[in-house]
Amino acid sequence: MKSPHLDPVWLRQKYEVEGLSTYEIGAIVGRDPKRVYAKLRDFGIPTRPRGANLAGKDNYMRRPGVRNPFAGKSHSAKTKAVLSAKASVEKPYLRGAANGMSGRVGAANPNYRDGSAPERQRLYASSRWKDIQRAVYARDKYRCVACGAGKSGPRSLHAHHIRPWAGNESLRFDLSNLLTLCRPCHHWVHSKANVDGLYLHHSTPALASSART
């Protein structure tokens, strides 16, 4: 199903007429705000200054109970001079056409998989995925199969795909292709530190707690 933010008329209505931010539009369509911003640029829709309407939940510093640590303070003349000097120096990174990656999106980007990322975001928000998550956690007794850690808070446990989501459509909701991992172990499994490819592409025995040290 085509995401509504890919329709320039719909996107212009939400952004220009209704005044929604890229964060709010992203929440509606299940996309990263940066992808929404990219579409605004693609469609030639004039964008507001960065942070122009960051209010409420869109702006961390405006959330209830959060106090800006710099509130009521100001930089000294010396600090302002240093910041000004740094801002005036030409930056080392390349912009626009000078950057070899400029405009290389979708299949033109070397990190492109199979175009399933938008679909993945949508399905991860579905009741079907939430049900399979609960089934995985229950089967593994709500413990990380790598280190044995239990649930310690929201999103402390992850349902990990042994064979990746991209390119394996028939296995995305297959219980035998999913394992319960705690957040640290899940990050480790997908890191370069996992030189043996544990928990990737095939079932493996539990990791020793020292495997990540």
Q: What is the pLDDT of residues 82-108, one digit of tens each?
A: 999 988 887 777 777 777 777 776 667
Question: Is-contact 206 146, C-beta < 8 A?
Answer: yes
| pLDDT 10s digits, 180-195 | 999 999 999 888 888 8
Bigger pLDDT: 204 or 145? 145
Residue 138 has pLDDT above 90, yes or no: yes
Lowest mean pLDDT segment, chosen from 12-16, 134-138, 166-170: 166-170
* Average pLDDT estimate for 8-21: 87
* Average pLDDT estimate for 53-60: 61
Chain centre distance of CA 205 = 29
Which pair of structure tokens corresponds to residue 147? 């280190």
- In angstroms, the CA 164 to CA 161 distance is 5
- In angstroms, the CA 47 to CA 53 distance is 11
Chain centre distance of CA 150 = 24
- In angstroms, the CA 85 to CA 83 distance is 5
* Average pLDDT estimate for 158-162: 92
pLDDT at 145: 93
Which pair of structure tokens corresponds to residue 3? 């995401």
Residue 49 has pLDDT above 80, yes or no: no
Please state, rounded to an integer, the average pLDDT across all residues of the chain: 80
| pLDDT 10s digits, 114-131 | 555 666 677 777 888 899
